[in-house]
Structure 1
């Protein structure tokens, strides 16, 4: 027993000596942030200043990654404030290219109805008519609240919902029968609704919806987007922090976010106080935006999160690959048993926006399937001055439609050219299909002769990436027996007709 005790003491002593060699009582040590100096175990004044600066800087970078979802929503709403002076319960109807051109990974296959709800003062009623509607509602931290329409609890039969929030007064929440009550954790709520059918059928469904405060007459207040680009990719520089400070004033602090609010306090961002950062805070915040965004880009374009990569190299944008561990798959609650998924949330809300249960947990013939690819068949980023082809195999596993949409890597929104086109798919009548049922999708600065309808123009000097959408995916999507396409650099002359 004595020998064992002596051995333990010796090991502890050696461990302490080894530690002391790395952290000198008196002297200097080199680290990734430079040289640190100690005087009898006490950091010198210069070292202390460096360490406090580094502490604030690290916290600013992490605060950027943490706040991406709410700043993205605040930016989206602000763009509609600026364009239309949007009011609560008003909806923006987007059907033209520019209407959706600056929205994170929007598609071109369906018109959209975007609605802002605020329930701080009173509950809001939503009436969904029967019909082919696919809609979702999220809070401003981009947590999914509910699906409505085909993927909701009432399916194609319509339905009525009442939305409340953390600050909604109890006397402003009505009791109604045969409704679904949805409680949001933020006062601000956002919705994205899509419609199927002919344009006339879609617009009739849209006008039949109702969104109104519970004590008002049922109504639907729709603002035509007017081919104006609403934007929701996050601002850069100090504008990012100004927007974060402003939106935090509108929302209560979630219990899970209280440590981050402490981080922000030392950076000049607090509840109920103006944002007047010092020169040093501005310096830290400005640089942290650059590094934080670079980290977010790495999460998107060079993915390493487990549970989301398919065997064909594509990534499940939402939800996990069937048969894999859940890992860091992105889903609507953001919550696991022991932690909330921070990196997947940052990755997704930098790259895209909005989430729902049926986007994250699709089933055979029910839900939405999304794949993203960020490197070509040679392992290189896609470049706007090169030409590429994707071969979509016959019979894509989608009951409604499929589409390949091309996005700009800098804005993560539709690639913008004078062509005003960023999508090829089964919902587009001009798409050419090969005799064997496969479909070519061409992306490059100039069109291949004879394939103009299957070509999306790229921009030299800019990067791009695709999403492949399968609406109401079938079994071959889940078991991966239908392969997603490779993105192959080619000479378009080899394909000309």
Structure 2
């Protein structure tokens, strides 16, 4: 009995020793720990930094087209697939002033709306949080006016007669849409002329000094690069903008991957490989949240959803003032597939996104689908529906008509006032005017826009049905 007890104790000791040896054998080396830390923090850096990189990509594209900060990039016609910003609206005239308050306040003048013209949009900081909305539902109530952007920490007295917008970043942009009454050449030209009444200049400067740079038909690629170059763009942003209190937890995380304010970002080959893998992983994480994030649906029984969760939606308009919420995951989802945020969601515009048909299957570019838009859509201005590449979230390349809108007089309506919109690689017979082409080799997604939404939309008195596959 005594020997059995000793043998059992010895066996236990040997087993514990073996486990310790195995544990020591599995312990990570210091280099392995460093590399795993870089990987983890690089994934989180993408999720946190997407709106910043999104902004840098747009600014980069503007500069590549000959524009400078405090100038206006505009499109002299509705955008086509040469514009690879994220989910742009091809049924309006875009004007995008990119402002820089580093050397002092900047003035942006908006002309008043009239019976034939209206400009709507939003002022955003470089993080793409909204400062104010423009137009009938915005700060100026459609009367136009002078907006004054002041830099972070600005304490000087400002003159009267301005809508003053203190910014938390030095740079940012204004998304402006000069809406046209129809797609006739005359109406589009008139919308462009009205848009070019916008002025951008430094406080005390000459409004006539405003520079407009036409980007229509030119390559304007602002899609997100999910590779090591993502971090180069993020570093550029960090060097240019002040740290915000809500983001200080990221300072050490970014140092881990080599991004530090005031220092050069020079990752070695090994680190670049880790960063590239991390960017790909982050993209997968965000895509998963995107694909599962439209529940509950805005219209019950359909796949139409609001592309931003409530906690993120509210924070974008109030600089995330709620101390108990930040909504970073939702923000990453939003800015991996779109750019800009309005001050008030549902004020001047409202967006619904759909990535699947009525059978909850992904929208395939090789198939044909129909969306029946009911009559009397609850909008003051117009509605539109646009097809985008599911992977890039930009306009589908190689198609000449990315959308259909209610301000297009060529669109056929049904006897009851509804409108059938078809999506597919070829137009159904006799439906060419109501057809939006797709790429048969790629999946697509739909964004339904309502400009000047009425209360009936939010009261669910009008309902957009699901997208039906046409067999």
* TM-score past 0.5 threshold: yes
Q: Name the SS of the counterpart of 1:98 in structure 2.
A: coil
TM-score (norm 2): 0.88
After superposition, give the CA deviation of every residue in 1:316-363 in whole Å (9 maximum; x if it has no partner): 13575xxxxx687774235234121101110100011101123x143x
| Aligned with 1:486 (options 454, 460, 466) | 466
Specify the alignment match of 1:225 in structure 2.
Answer: 215
Q: Distance in 2 between matches of 1:445 and 1:368?
A: 30
The aligned runs of 1:282-321 (5 Å cut-off) are: 282-303=272-293, 309-311=298-300, 312-318=302-308, 320=310
Structure 2 residue aligned with 1:124: 106
Q: Look up the match of 2:142.
A: 156
Indicate the SS of the match to 2:38.
helix
1:152 to 1:327, Cα distance in 2 relative to 1, 3 A: closer
How far apart, in 2, do the equivalents of 1:329 and 1:54 lie?
34
In structure 2, C-alpha distance between the alignment counterparts of 1:330 and 1:442, rounded to whole Å? 36
Greater shift, 89-98 or 392-401, is seen at 89-98
* 1:212 maps to 2:197: no
Q: Is residue 2:401 matched to residue 1:404?
A: no
Alignment of 1:248-397 (within 5 A): 248-303=238-293, 309-311=298-300, 312-318=302-308, 320=310, 331-333=316-318, 335=320, 336-358=322-344, 360-362=345-347, 367-397=348-378
8 Å contact from structure 1 (residues 330, 344) kept in 2:
no
1:175 aligns to what? 158
Residue 309 (structure 1) shift: 4.5
Q: Structure 2 vs 1, CA of residues 309 and 483 (structure 1 numbering), >3 Å: closer, same or farther?
A: closer
1:307 shift after superposition: 6.8
Distance 1:377 1:267 in 2: 44
Q: Which runs of 5+ in 1 are unaligned?
A: 1-23, 30-35, 321-325, 492-497
1:104 counterpart = 2:86: yes
Offset from partner CA, 1:104-148 (integer Å, 9 cap, x none): 111121101011100011111122221122121101111001112
Structure number with higher relative contact order (C-alpha < 8 Å, ≥ 6 residues apart): 2
Selected match of 2:70 from 85, 89, 113: 89
User: Per-residue deviation at 1:461?
Assistant: 1.9
Whole-Å Cα distance in 1 between the matches of residues 22 and 239 of structure 2?
41
- Work out the CA distance in 2 between the residues paired with 1:25 and 1:338: 46
In the superposition, relative to structure 1, how do residues 26 and 466 fare at CA in structure 2: closer, same or farther (>3 Å)? farther
Q: CA deviation at 1:264?
A: 1.3
69-78 or 54-63: which moved more? 54-63
Residues 1:451 and 1:330: Cα distance change in structure 2 (over 3 Å): farther
How many aligned positions are there?
443
Q: Distance in 2 between the 1:375 and 1:70 partners?
A: 29
Aligned pairs for 1:191-210 within 5 A: 191-197=174-180, 198-210=187-199
2-structure distance, mates of 1:279, 1:25: 41
Aligned to 1:468: 448
CA contact (8 A) 1:98 1:229 kept: no
Q: Does 1:64 align with 2:46?
A: yes
> Which stretch of structure 1 is more off in the superposition, 282-291 or 202-211?
202-211
Partners in 1 of 2:129 and 2:153 — Cα distance?
A: 18
The answer on whether the counterparts of 1:63 and 1:264 sit within 8 Å (CA) in structure 2 is: yes
Task: Name the structure 2 match of 1:114.
Answer: 96
> Is this contact kept in 2: 1:368–1:471, CA < 8 A?
yes
| Structural RMSD (CA) | 2.5
Change (3 A) 1:308 1:449: closer
8 Å CA contact retained: 1:126, 1:162: yes
TM-score (normalizing by structure 1) = 0.83
